[in-house]
């Protein structure tokens, strides 16, 4: 028996035989060609063929409602059809009299190296897309048509160094019990795909297990792969799997029911999403709307800014998916720590304290603020859309943002463009200044949504991306809990509501505390909604008020945790 650990990217337990996947080697031999023009024509033909395949795959996935997966192929298509890509290949062939395969390899390698330099997990993952695209073009040029995961004949646990979009598209999900990869992170394709399909997965295992056919246990709750388990372990996991599956089925069966506490309080449970696909998926998990649409996803992976019309279409599609349920759209939240290609950002010493989110939007409103607000107001017509501004610190910023909102409304009115006149406008409370001054800010807005991810890092001065200080950045620290209470109380005394869209809102341990503090809306990752709703149904708000009072008297995060652990 051997155990390896990685990151549980899609929770669940699977037991089955191991299928070791090794993709066909895409080896390139460099040759000198006599007729460079003929070679360029050969490349053009291969490019057209690959473009057609990518288009078909994207359409097929989109028709199946898998927008996110389809997006992977759309990105590849954009790279392939970008004239600079084709020009670079032609130049290589022309100047070096080299074969098309070698030219494609060089150009993709250069592009991958460029992307790998950007210190951002998302971009790092895009290098896999480019590599995959290059391999696909080279295979087409060499006449190799491999069918990677076709050898999978019985339901198996698939292990691979990494999985490319082409691999996953050719995979029969009925035959895949779980996915395990040697590399990858929470945003890798394997992670996205497995969450979408509801298949347990572990990424970033750090090692390959080369034992085809061996019985393995994938514990994608703790992030463990157990190879050749002994009978006792196997039996224990069979029971755990049965319990896990039964619990998941039970939770899913009641996910659409409202979360009403034992003392009759109806709690609003909504989702944090980033795409149309996630919006649809969240509904199946019982989301009663979206408390946070992170619009920055629309701005990634592209050299230019999305136009007002593109934004309008996306907001409309997502709002339509939710019907009459609310959709809270957060305006662009990017900056030094979340770079996007279409905005030129000066390097900053402390990007988390720099020019990000509304600070950027207010510095360049014609490109960043007005198009987004116009798109949102246009999409609001007949739909339940609310607008939320991130990273607000002062009343002055709110006044500036509200002036922009007023001017967009006047502009649309004058143009006779219909929009909802009662769109609520709120702010994220994620900077301590806003939390401390919540009683001053409340009269200026329609709602607050507490962003505990940033509020915690700023309150405790502990970088949320720095593992060394991760234990300090604890949202159960009394200082953070005090701020949360102050924000909720300030909102209620001014007749507005407070939600929470930071990770804390979906933490089972935090639910009694937040309910007791009077939080009005809980917004969380879609897959944890069924569990959160189930837990809320077993809580009494009256009782939770006492729990919250005890937590507020505690001196440390560990004391608060132990009060909550005892209660839960
Ligand atoms: C937060 O800061 O809590 C939040 C929800 O926003 P993000 O994680 O996108 O910064
Ligand atoms: Mg934030």
Alpha-carbon distance of 351 to 335, in angstroms, equals 7
The domain boundary, picked from 204, 234, 264, lies at 234
Question: Ligand 1: which atom is nearest the Cα of residue 451?
Answer: 3
pLDDT of res. 71: 81
pLDDT of res. 188: 67
* Percentage, residues of the chain above pLDDT 90: 65
User: Do 118 and 201 fall within a single domain?
Assistant: no
273-317: pLDDT as tens digits: 988 878 988 999 999 999 999 998 788 767 789 999 999 999 999
Alpha-carbon distance of 202 to 182, in angstroms, equals 9
| CA-closest residue to ligand 1 atom 3 | 451
Question: Angle at Cα 68 formed by Cα 138 and Cα 152, nearest 5°?
Answer: 60
User: Which one of 430, 457, 524 would you pick to mutate in the ligand 1 pocket, going by the greatest count of ligand atoms within 8 A of its CB?
Assistant: 430
User: Do 138 and 156 fall within a single domain?
Assistant: no
Alpha-carbon distance of 189 to 498, in angstroms, equals 34
Q: Kind and range of the H or E element at 524?
A: strand 521-524
Query: At 201, is the secondary structure helix, strand, or coil?
Result: strand
Question: Ligand 1: which atom is nearest the Cα of residue 503?
Answer: 3
pLDDT of res. 226: 96
Residue with tokens 């007749």: 495
Q: What is the CATH number of the domain that holds 384?
A: 3.20.20.60
Question: Ligand 1: which atom is nearest the Cα of residue 452?
Answer: 3
User: Which one of 186, 451, 510 would you pick to mutate in the ligand 1 pocket, going by the greatest count of ligand atoms within 8 A of its CB?
Assistant: 451
Residue at 241 is within a domain: no
pLDDT of res. 307: 95
Confidence class for position 184, pLDDT limits 50, 70, 90 = confident
Q: What is the CATH number of the domain that holds 212?
A: 3.50.30.10
User: Do 171 and 230 fall within a single domain?
Assistant: yes
Residue at 90 is within a domain: yes
Least confident of 229-238, 378-387, 461-470: 461-470
User: Do 159 and 258 fall within a single domain?
Assistant: no
pLDDT at 170 over 80: no
Split into its structural domains, the chain has a count of 3
Question: Ligand 1: which atom is nearest the Cα of residue 449?
Answer: 5
| CA-closest residue to ligand 1 atom 6 | 451
Residue at 239 is within a domain: no
Alpha-carbon distance of 317 to 329, in angstroms, equals 13
Residues 95/87, Cβ–Cβ less than 8 Å? no
User: Do 554 and 464 fall within a single domain?
Assistant: yes
Q: What is the CATH number of the domain that holds 60?
A: 1.10.274.10
User: Do 272 and 350 fall within a single domain?
Assistant: yes
* Ramachandran class of 540: left when φ > 0, alpha when ψ lies in -120 to 50, beta otherwise: beta
For residues 91 and 464, the model is more confident at 91
Q: Which of 110-114, 167-171, 224-228 has the highest mean pLDDT?
A: 224-228
Taken as a whole, the chain contains a residue count of: 568
For the record, the structure tokens of 52 come out as: 């057609």
Q: What is the per-residue DSSP string for 283-304?
A: HHTT--SEEEEEGGGGTSS-SS
Ion ligand 2: residue ranges with CB closer than 5 A? 430, 451, 454
Phi, psi (5° rounding) for residue 153?
A: -105, -25
User: In the predicted model, what is the mean pLDDT of the chain?
Assistant: 90
Q: Which ligand is nearest to the CA of 501?
A: 1
Overall average pLDDT of the 71-84 stretch: 88
Query: Which domain covers residue 108, as residue numbers?
Result: 36-142
Residue at 29 is within a domain: no
- Quote the DSSP letter at residue 470: T
325-360: pLDDT as tens digits: 999 999 999 886 777 888 888 888 998 999 999 999
Q: Which of 8-12, 104-108, 206-210 has the highest mean pLDDT?
A: 104-108
Q: Which of 85-94, 327-336, 425-434, 526-535 has the highest mean pLDDT?
A: 425-434
Count other Cβ atoms within 10 Å, centred on residue 556: 12
The domain boundary, picked from 89, 111, 142, lies at 142
In 130-223, the DSSP E strands lie at 156-160, 176-181, 201-203, 215-219
User: Do 461 and 561 fall within a single domain?
Assistant: yes
User: Do 152 and 10 fall within a single domain?
Assistant: yes
pLDDT at 272 over 50: yes
Residue at 298 is within a domain: yes
User: Do 69 and 159 fall within a single domain?
Assistant: no
| CA-closest residue to ligand 1 atom 9 | 294
User: Do 491 and 380 fall within a single domain?
Assistant: yes
Nearest to 502 by CA among 530, 486, 523: 523
Residues 180/158, Cβ–Cβ less than 8 Å? yes
Rg (CA), the chain: 26
From the CA of 465, how far away is ligand 1's center (Å)? 12
377-426: pLDDT as tens digits: 999 999 999 999 999 999 999 999 999 999 999 999 999 999 999 999 99
Residue 170 CB less than 6 A away from ligand 1: no
Residue at 247 is within a domain: no
Confidence class for position 4, pLDDT limits 50, 70, 90 = very high
421-441: pLDDT as tens digits: 999 999 999 999 999 999 999
Alpha-carbon distance of 181 to 242, in angstroms, equals 24
Query: At 436, is the secondary structure helix, strand, or coil?
Result: helix
pLDDT of res. 296: 87
pLDDT at 147 over 50: no
pLDDT at 192 over 70: no
Count other Cβ atoms within 10 Å, centred on residue 269: 25
The domain boundary, picked from 123, 142, 161, lies at 142
Query: What number of H helices and E strands is found in the chain?
Result: 22, 17
Alpha-carbon distance of 24 to 9, in angstroms, equals 26
The active-site residue out of 501, 538, 544, 551 is 501
Residue at 31 is within a domain: no
Count other Cβ atoms within 10 Å, centred on residue 342: 15
From the CA of 455, how far away is ligand 1's center (Å)? 9
Alpha-carbon distance of 546 to 513, in angstroms, equals 9
Alpha-carbon distance of 101 to 136, in angstroms, equals 11
Alpha-carbon distance of 396 to 476, in angstroms, equals 30
User: Do 66 and 204 fall within a single domain?
Assistant: no
Residues 282/322, Cβ–Cβ less than 8 Å? no
Specify which residues 292 forms β-bridges with. 272
Residue 64 buriedness (CB in 10 A; 0-12 / 13-18 / 19+): exposed
| CA-closest residue to ligand 1 atom 1 | 451
User: Do 277 and 225 fall within a single domain?
Assistant: no
Residue at 245 is within a domain: no
Residue 335 CB less than 6 A away from ligand 1: no
The question of whether 189 is a catalytic residue gets the answer yes
Residue 460 CB less than 6 A away from ligand 1: no
pLDDT at 157 over 60: yes
Count other Cβ atoms within 10 Å, centred on residue 264: 8
User: Which one of 501, 505, 514 would you pick to mutate in the ligand 1 pocket, going by the greatest count of ligand atoms within 8 A of its CB?
Assistant: 501
* Percentage, residues of the chain above pLDDT 70: 93
Q: Would you tell me the crossing angle of helices 189-197 and 67-81 to the nearest 10 degrees?
A: 150
The question of whether 501 is a catalytic residue gets the answer yes
The active-site residue out of 4, 90, 161, 189 is 189
């Amino acid at each position: 028996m051997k155990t390896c650990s990685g990151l549980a990217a899609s929770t669940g337990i699977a037991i089955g035989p191991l299928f070791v996947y090794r993709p066909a080697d895409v080896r390139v031999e460099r040759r000198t060609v006599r007729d460079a023009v003929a070679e360029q024509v050969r490349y053009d033909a291969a490019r057209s063929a690959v473009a057609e395949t990518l288009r078909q795959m994207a359409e097929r996935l989109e028709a199946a409602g898998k927008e996110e997966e389809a997006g992977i192929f759309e990105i590849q298509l954009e790279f392939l059809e970008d004239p600079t890509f084709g020009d670079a290949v032609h130049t290589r062939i022309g100047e070096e009299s080299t074969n098309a395969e070698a030219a494609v390899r060089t150009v993709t390698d250069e592009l991958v190296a460029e992307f790998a330099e950007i210190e951002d997990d998302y971009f790092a993952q895009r290098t896999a897309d480019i590599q995959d695209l290059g391999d696909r073009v080279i295979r087409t040029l060499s006449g190799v048509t491999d069918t990677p995961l076709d050898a999978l004949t019985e339901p198996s646990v698939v292990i691979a160094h990494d999985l490319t979009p082409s691999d996953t598209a050719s995979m029969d999900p009925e035959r895949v019990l779980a996915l395990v990869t040697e590399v990858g992170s929470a945003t890798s394709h394997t992670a996205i795909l497995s969450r979408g399909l509801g298949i347990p997965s572990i990424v970033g295992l750090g090692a390959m297990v080369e034992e085809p056919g061996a019985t393995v246990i994938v514990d994608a709750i703790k992030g463990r792969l157990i190879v050749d388990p002994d009978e006792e372990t196997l039996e224990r996991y069979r029971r755990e799997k049965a319990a896990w599956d039964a619990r998941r089925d039970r939770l899913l069966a009641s996910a659409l029911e409202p979360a009403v506490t034992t003392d009759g309080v109806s709690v609003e449970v909504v989702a944090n999403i980033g795409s149309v696909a996630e919006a649809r998926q969240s509904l199946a998990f019982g989301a009663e709307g979206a408390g946070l649409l992170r619009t920055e996803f629309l701005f990634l992976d592209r050299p230019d800014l999305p136009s007002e019309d593109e934004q309008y279409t996306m907001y409309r599609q997502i709002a339509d998916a939710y019907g009459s349920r609310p959709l809270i759209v957060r305006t662009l939240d990017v900056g030094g720590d979340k770079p996007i290609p279409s905005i030129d950002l000066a390097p900053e010493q402390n990007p988390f304290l720099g020019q990000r989110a509304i600070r950027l939007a207010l510095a360049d409103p014609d490109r960043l603020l007005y198009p987004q607000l116009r798109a949102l107001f246009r999409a609001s017509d007949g739909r339940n859309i609310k607008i939320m501004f991130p990273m607000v610190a002062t009343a002055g910023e709110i006044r500036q943002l509200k002036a922009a909102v007023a001017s967009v409304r006047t502009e649309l009115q004058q143009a006779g463009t219909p929009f909802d006149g009662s769109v609520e406008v709120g702010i994220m409370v994620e900077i301590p200044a806003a939390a401390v001054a919540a009683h001053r800010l409340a009269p200026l807005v329609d709602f607050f949504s507490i962003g505990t991810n940033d509020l915690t890092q700023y309150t405790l001065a502990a970088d949320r991306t720095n593992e060394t200080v991760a234990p300090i950045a604890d949202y159960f620290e009394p200082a953070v809990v005090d701020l949360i209470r102050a924000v909720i109380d300030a909102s209620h005394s001014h007749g507005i509501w407070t939600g929470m869209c930071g990770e804390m809102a979906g933490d089972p341990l935090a639910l009694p505390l937040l309910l007791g503090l009077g939080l009005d809306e809980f917004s969380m990752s879609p897959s944890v909604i069924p569990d959160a709703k189930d837990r809320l149904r077993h809580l009494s708000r009256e009782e939770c008020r006492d729990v919250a009072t005890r937590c507020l008297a505690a001196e440390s995060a560990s004391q608060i945790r132990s009060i909550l652990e005892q209660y839960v």
